A and B are shown apart, each in its own frame.
Chain A
């Protein structure tokens, strides 16, 4: 009887200290408009769904599911550029989500959008968020320091501890490289073409020679910014696009 009572108290305690149970989904102020937006989407009222999703963002709440659903609504509304924008933002929050990756690729392919080959480094670094990289980095840093310190006082296995700490320091460097990818994205963010039939020009001037077309949903890297124009690198091509036709995707930590 005593054991049962103790277990019951433990359960109650856990429920109260766990934030998930502390603020259950149905109690959160963002959940109600979220559900309404889903319903509007299912009924084909995509503009209403977008407005509801945006209202949640304006309240200051965000999640990868919200951005994902927003991308879906924009795609159904026939705006693949904005769909790609929100899928990209969602993938920054949750790079491991297969649905986000699939929808992003699907919409880009359907829209004929260009995208830069990220390369092995960016592909690997982009698999985890900056928080994850930093979390792992801190863990490796602590373990490496304590491993090295223990190797100085251990009576046995000092060499093993030293090698282990060296490996941990190498792992720390790897996590640093992963974090550097996200920091570089903050400096040169990815931009998404959200307007139709955009042409990248050789110079940031009206009437300059067109270099290449950038269909909606094209994702490139911002290299420079000048007088309302942005120099974008896409698939080994560089061209100036009007700032109004682009939306930047900054990493959200």
Chain B
């Protein structure tokens, strides 16, 4: 059943059996309005709830649409065409009544939903059966499942009594699924009957065939065979190979088979590897070594469904792997591979006495992997060359079954215009290497190479579709057709060549109009301005600068490489400067020490300036400024703490000679006297002797400060 927000649809039970054409069935009654019909249950009393009515429809009505329409009858069951007609008519009526808006939207919504529901397909009634496993030992049980698809509430099948088997059940499972196919939602329901089969005695048992009948239909359930052996019974050798195999203490062996022999070159065939094991637990990975390396194109092996088989009165677990292969040359190919697998053995717990083993063991690996190599019986495959007799000239190596179509477009052109010849090859075989015929260059037709336009080949390269395109250009209007194309391939089943011919392809080629090359100026009719053709861009003028091939590129010049050292060196310099600046910020004493000579020089410059102006007061102030700023910075002293005795003591500790210390002390005293007016009046005239003395003071101070720079205080 399918349901939507407003629309519901239900299929009649008979629809899946007798109505393959999908005929709609409904129990309908004449409607109150002309042109529609109304369902007997849908037009129930006004007091009945909407939900109740909907549920009734679900159980009674066939494939119908239920649509809310008016206040008098909420649901109306009509055929799809009738519904459309009714809705349109209603819309028209309402429009005349002046309710066009709401009705129009409703009609539109219904039509959209209707379009989504119309293409519902009708499923056939299907029955599938499966027996798993098909080989048993006494004491084991098999499951037989019978799945009925497309019927609602199908009755359980009656399995016949079989002597030697005890069949119990069935258990019933129901499933319901939605699938999208070509944009259409499909629903399917299935009921699975599960039977448990317990063998009571050894032997070969056949279950079925029998007929399953439900709701007037019947389906055949094919025969299934179950082989049962007694555990530990002697083996029944049926053929020499079996005898030889039985002689081995074979808990496992491998077999290699090819699907058909001989095969033709380029013909696909299947290689199946079967690994039989009994009572062993195999690792997941199995490796196949020593397969032929040349003359064969092989796809990767795919694992098939695991099965059980009885070999020599023993039940084996069988793992099968299948690969598709194609011979590339004729001759005999011998398959004698080695199968490497791992047998998993549970680790003995007594061996794991160490505490870490006990701790990590269960977390990681509780089993040991023991590698084993199996040697299947070698298989020789005869590869036949493709027959030369009857080989068409157009044959290009396609082997398999193919369809070939070719078409040209456009068919009406002007001479010089390109035509696309599109060729499509689809089928099964060596589709990946298939080539198509091509038109040869002719005097009147220019032909370019064929190119692959699209390629859709399945993963194992055995089937698919390829589209090729070839551009051809008729050079004159005399070309009336393109010649026919022949595609030939070899069919291995019938061992014959087949040829498919497409064409010839009639063309209408108009002569080229010389007026098409006119230049269209601005006042031309815009409708006549059109693309007249395509061609390559014209030649370029000579370049302004030529390059010499012999010149190395600029970035290989040693100077360029050498210059690249500058940024890291600069980075290094920046790094050092930055570190130094940060160090100064965090160490004021060091910063003041570095500032001391500069500050002294400033003071001396001021003193020199005052000397030239013969300004006594300013001279001694500047001299004091030089002395105090230097020693204040040098000894990291606040301005008020600068005193001659302390500085002299510090210099004495630094190793300054006594004479220089005396001179410095004298300078301090002179500055103090002049600054604080302890000597001659400051307004006394400055003579040349004064100037000489001051100059001497300055030189003395300069020399002493330099001396101080050299000693460690």
Binding site for B on A (CB under 8 A): 19-20, 23, 25, 28, 30-31, 34-35, 38, 41-42, 57, 60-66, 68-69, 72, 75, 80, 99, 102-103, 106-107, 110-114, 130-131, 134-135, 138, 141-142, 145-146, 148-150, 152-153, 196-197, 202, 209-213, 215-216, 252-253
Q: What residues of chain A lie closer than 8 Å to B547, measured between beta carbons?
A: 61-63
Q: What residues of chain B lie closer than 8 Å to A63, measured between beta carbons?
A: 543, 545-547
B450 contacts A215, C-beta separation under 8 Å: yes
B451 contacts A149, C-beta separation under 8 Å: no
B152 proximal to A (CB < 8 A): no
Q: Which single member of B397, B546, B553, B571 contacts A148 (CB below 8 Å)?
A: B571
Q: Which single member of A38, A130, A215 contacts B449 (CB below 8 Å)?
A: A215
**Contact status of A65 and B543, CB under 8 A, knowing A114-B452, A146-B570:** yes
**Assembly CA distance A73 to B549 (angstroms):** 22
**Contact status of A196 and B449, CB under 8 A, knowing A19-B545, A65-B543, A150-B574:** yes
**Assembly CA distance A66 to B560 (angstroms):** 29
**Assembly CA distance A253 to B552 (angstroms):** 8
Q: What residues of chain B lie closer than 8 Å to A57, measured between beta carbons?
A: 549
Interface residues in B456-474 by Cβ distance below 8 A to A read: 469-471
Q: Would you give the shortest CB distance from A187 to chain B, in whole angstroms?
A: 17
**Contact status of A20 and B544, CB under 8 A, knowing A60-B549, A110-B418, A110-B448:** yes
Given A61-B548, A62-B547, A106-B534; 15 other pairs, CB 8 A cutoff? A20-B544, A25-B544, A57-B549, A80-B448, A107-B536, A112-B450, A112-B471, A134-B555, A145-B570, A146-B567, A152-B574, A202-B297, A213-B449, A215-B448, A216-B449
A25 contacts B433, C-beta separation under 8 Å: no
Q: Which single member of A35, A102, A149, A202 contacts B537 (CB below 8 Å)?
A: A102
| 11 A-B contact pairs sorted by A residue (CB < 8 Å) | A19-B545, A28-B542, A62-B546, A66-B543, A72-B539, A80-B448, A99-B540, A138-B564, A145-B567, A149-B570, A213-B449
Q: Would you give the shortest CB distance from A241 to chain B, in whole angstroms?
A: 14
Q: What residues of chain A lie closer than 8 Å to B287, measured between beta carbons?
A: none
**Assembly CA distance A153 to B583 (angstroms):** 12
Shortest Cβ distance from B577 into A: residue: A153
Q: Would you give the shortest CB distance from B437 to chain A, in whole angstroms?
A: 12
A103 contacts B450, C-beta separation under 8 Å: no
B534 contacts A149, C-beta separation under 8 Å: no
**Contact status of A253 and B553, CB under 8 A, knowing A41-B539, A149-B571, A153-B577:** yes
**Assembly CA distance A99 to B541 (angstroms):** 13
Shortest Cβ distance from B469 into A: residue: A112
**Contact status of A72 and B536, CB under 8 A, knowing A131-B555, A210-B433:** yes
Interface residues in B527-541 by Cβ distance below 8 A to A read: 534-541
Q: Would you give the shortest CB distance from A109 to chain B, in whole angstroms?
A: 8
Q: What residues of chain A lie closer than 8 Å to B558, measured between beta carbons?
A: none
Q: Would you give the shortest CB distance from B578 to chain A, in whole angstroms?
A: 4
Contact with A along B327-371 (1 / 0, CB 8 A): 010000000000000000000000000000000000000000000
Q: What residues of chain B lie closer than 8 Å to A25, measured between beta carbons?
A: 542-544
5 smallest CB-CB distances across A and B, nearest first, come from A215-B449, A149-B574, A145-B567, A152-B578, A112-B451
Q: Would you give the shortest CB distance from A26 to chain B, in whole angstroms?
A: 9
B514 proximal to A (CB < 8 A): no
Shortest Cβ distance from A214 into B: residue: B449
Q: What residues of chain B lie closer than 8 Å to A145, measured between beta carbons?
A: 567-568, 570-571
B548 contacts A60, C-beta separation under 8 Å: yes
Q: What residues of chain A lie closer than 8 Å to B418, measured between beta carbons?
A: 110
Q: Would you give the shortest CB distance from B457 to chain A, in whole angstroms?
A: 11
Q: Which single member of B449, B544, B567 contacts A142 (CB below 8 Å)?
A: B567
Q: How many residues of chain B are within 8 Å of chain A by beta carbon?
A: 50
**Assembly CA distance A114 to B567 (angstroms):** 46
Interface residues in B509-541 by Cβ distance below 8 A to A read: 534-541
Binding site for A on B (CB under 8 A): 266, 297, 328, 397, 418, 432-433, 435, 448-452, 469-471, 534-550, 553-556, 560, 564, 566-568, 570-571, 573-575, 577-578, 581
Q: What residues of chain A lie closer than 8 Å to B539, measured between beta carbons?
A: 38, 41-42, 68-69, 72
Shortest Cβ distance from B534 into A: residue: A106
Q: Which single member of B450, B546, B577 contacts A213 (CB below 8 Å)?
A: B450
**Assembly CA distance A111 to B570 (angstroms):** 56
Q: Which single member of A62, A69, A110 contacts B540 (CB below 8 Å)?
A: A69
Dominant secondary structure at the B interface: mixed
A113 contacts B451, C-beta separation under 8 Å: yes
Q: What residues of chain B lie closer than 8 Å to A253, measured between beta carbons?
A: 553, 555-556
Shortest Cβ distance from B554 into A: residue: A131
Q: Would you give the shortest CB distance from B6 to chain A, in whole angstroms?
A: 47
**Residue in A28, A63, A112, A142 with the greatest tally of chain B CB atoms within 10 Å:** A112
Q: What residues of chain A lie closer than 8 Å to B471, measured between beta carbons?
A: 110-112
B578 contacts A28, C-beta separation under 8 Å: no
Q: What residues of chain A lie closer than 8 Å to B566, measured between beta carbons?
A: 142
B542 contacts A197, C-beta separation under 8 Å: no
**Assembly CA distance A112 to B450 (angstroms):** 6
Shortest Cβ distance from A66 into B: residue: B543
Q: Which single member of A80, A130, A152 contacts B575 (CB below 8 Å)?
A: A152
**Assembly CA distance A46 to B432 (angstroms):** 40
Q: What residues of chain B lie closer than 8 Å to A106, measured between beta carbons?
A: 534-536
**Contact status of A61 and B546, CB under 8 A, knowing A112-B469, A138-B564:** yes
A112 contacts B448, C-beta separation under 8 Å: yes
**Residue in B448, B541, B577 with the greatest tally of chain A CB atoms within 10 Å:** B448
Shortest Cβ distance from A141 into B: residue: B567
**Assembly CA distance A25 to B548 (angstroms):** 15
A111 contacts B567, C-beta separation under 8 Å: no
Q: What residues of chain A lie closer than 8 Å to B450, measured between beta carbons?
A: 112, 213, 215
**Assembly CA distance A123 to B539 (angstroms):** 25
Q: What residues of chain B lie closer than 8 Å to A20, measured between beta carbons?
A: 544-545
B397 contacts A210, C-beta separation under 8 Å: yes
**Assembly CA distance A28 to B571 (angstroms):** 45
Q: Would you give the shortest CB distance from A245 to chain B, in whole angstroms?
A: 13
**Assembly CA distance A130 to B328 (angstroms):** 45
Q: Which single member of B433, B540, B575, B577 contacts A211 (CB below 8 Å)?
A: B433
Shortest Cβ distance from B580 into A: residue: A153
Q: What residues of chain A lie closer than 8 Å to B575, measured between beta carbons?
A: 149, 152
Q: What residues of chain A lie closer than 8 Å to B469, measured between beta carbons?
A: 112
**Residue in B266, B568, B574 with the greatest tally of chain A CB atoms within 10 Å:** B574
Q: What residues of chain B lie closer than 8 Å to A69, measured between beta carbons?
A: 539-540
Q: What residues of chain B lie closer than 8 Å to A68, measured between beta carbons?
A: 539-540
**Assembly CA distance A129 to B294 (angstroms):** 44
**Contact status of A30 and B546, CB under 8 A, knowing A69-B540, A72-B536, A145-B570:** yes
Q: Would you give the shortest CB distance from A141 to chain B, in whole angstroms?
A: 6
**Contact status of A212 and B452, CB under 8 A, knowing A60-B548, A61-B546:** yes
Q: Which single member of B451, B543, B555, B571 contacts A215 (CB below 8 Å)?
A: B451
Q: What residues of chain A lie closer than 8 Å to B297, measured between beta carbons?
A: 202, 209
Q: What residues of chain A lie closer than 8 Å to B545, measured between beta carbons?
A: 19-20, 23, 63
Shortest Cβ distance from A212 into B: residue: B452
**Assembly CA distance A114 to B543 (angstroms):** 31
Shortest Cβ distance from A103 into B: residue: B536
Shortest Cβ distance from B568 into A: residue: A145
Q: What residues of chain A lie closer than 8 Å to B568, measured between beta carbons?
A: 145
Q: What residues of chain A lie closer than 8 Å to B578, measured between beta carbons?
A: 152-153
B540 contacts A131, C-beta separation under 8 Å: no
Q: Would you give the shortest CB distance from A206 to chain B, in whole angstroms?
A: 13
Q: Would you give the shortest CB distance from A23 to chain B, in whole angstroms?
A: 8
A62 contacts B542, C-beta separation under 8 Å: no
